[in-house]
Amino acid sequence: MKDFNLFLDELFLDMPDTKETRAAKQNLLLYLQSDYEQRLLEGKTSREALVESLIYFGAWENIEKEVAHQEFISSYNRFREKYPLLIRCGFLAILIIPAVFLILMFSLESKLNFLTAWIVSIILSAGYLICVEYIDYRYKRKLHLTEPEPELDGNGMLEKINKL
């Protein structure tokens, strides 16, 4: 609808023209049109529905929130592109680095130093993999891509333990 496009062009005038702002503008346009159609179904006139939709979505906070959400989705997509490489590097690190320290431990004099380095390298590699998985989990949780954990009362917890 022309009025919605003019309204959004005016609101997005001061914002940078990025992929995220264009996506946010498109999403807001869809929301405006959907809200307008809903108000028409409620029996309002075309002009009333238009004004109420523009007032409802006219808050600057909604626009900033939508842009921030689009930037977050873009950040998540960039992370997901790198995710297989990050995991692969973590597993290679957990295999190669401790192997090198193990070989050095048995071939050189200072065994205690290399034993310590071997243990620390395993812990750091495992910690790296845990951090990558946690970042992925946090992204998915914020985007509601994971199922929420069910709330268990005392009886539910006992049932779950008994099933194990």
Query: Which amino acid is it at 104?
Result: L
Give the number of other CB atoms < 10 A from CB of residue 135.
Answer: 14
Phi-psi region of 43 (alpha: psi -120 to 50; beta: other; left: phi over 0): left
Q: How far is CA 72 from the centre of its chain?
A: 6
DSSP-assigned states of every residue in 1-27 = -HHHHHHHHHHTTTS---HHHHHHHHH
What would the pLDDT profile of 66-119 be if each residue is shown by its tens digit? Answer: 777 888 888 999 999 999 999 999 999 999 999 998 888 888 888 888 888 889
CB–CB of 139/76 below 8 Å? Answer: yes
Give domain limits for the chain: 2-58, 79-148
Question: By mean pLDDT, which of 27-31, 54-58, 67-71, 83-87 is the weakest?
Answer: 54-58
CB–CB of 7/29 below 8 Å? Answer: no
Instruction: Tell me what percent of the residues of the chain surpass a pLDDT of 90.
Output: 28
